[in-house]
Amino acid sequence: MDKPNQRILDLHTNLFYKLFVTKFTKKTLIVDTTWVAALICELSRCIYWHFLIFIDMSIFSFRRTAFVWLVVLTLCSGYHSLAQRQECMPLSPQKAAAFEDWMQQKAKQARPLRTSETLPILRLPVVVHVLHLGEAEGEGFNIPKEQIVRQIQILNEDFRRIPGTRGYNTHPVGVDTRIEFQLAQYTPSGDPTDGIVRIDINSVTEDCPNCDLLENIAYYKYWDPERYINVWVYPGFRPNTLLGQAQYPETDLPGPVIKSEKGDGILISTPHFGETTLESDANLGRTLTHEMGHFLGLLHMWGVKWSCDNDDFCQDTPPVSGATDCNTHPVACDGTSAMVGNYMDYSGDACMNIFTNDQLFRMRTVLENSPRRKTLTSSTAIDRKIPVVRDAMVVYPNPTLSNEVVVAFPSNNIPETFELVALSVTGKEIYRANYTSNTEAEVTIKLPKSLENILILHIIAAGITYQTQKLVHIPN
Residues involved in catalysis: 291
H/E segment holding residue 469:
strand 464-472
CB 170 within 8 A of CB 176: no
DSSP assignment of 341-361 equals TBTTS---TTT--B-BHHHHH
Residue type, 36: V
Residue type, 453: N
Rounded to whole angstroms, the Cα distance separating 370 from 88 reads 20
Peptide bond into 235 cis (omega under 30): no
3-class DSSP state of 123: strand
Radius of gyration over alpha carbons of the chain, in Å? 24
According to DSSP, the residues that pair with 442 across neighbouring strands are 408
State phi, psi for 218 to the nearest 5 degrees: -65, -20
Write out 381-404 in H/E/C secondary structure. Answer: CCCCCCCCHHHHCEEECCCECCCE
Write out 174-204 in H/E/C secondary structure. Answer: ECCCCEEEEECCECCCCCECCCEEEEEHHHC
CB 214 within 8 A of CB 291: no
With CA atoms as reference, report the closest residue to 225 among 274, 273, 295.
295
Rounded to whole angstroms, the Cα distance separating 171 from 73 reads 40
CB 463 within 8 A of CB 149: yes
Q: Look up residue 316 and give its DSSP letter.
A: T
With CA atoms as reference, report the closest residue to 413 among 392, 434, 382.
392
Strands 442-446 and 404-408: what pairing? antiparallel
**Residues in the chain, overall count:** 476
Rounded to whole angstroms, the Cα distance separating 297 from 291 reads 10
CB 433 within 8 A of CB 446: no
Rounded to whole angstroms, the Cα distance separating 109 from 105 reads 7
Per-residue CA distances from 286 to 223, 360, 471 (Å) = 24, 17, 31
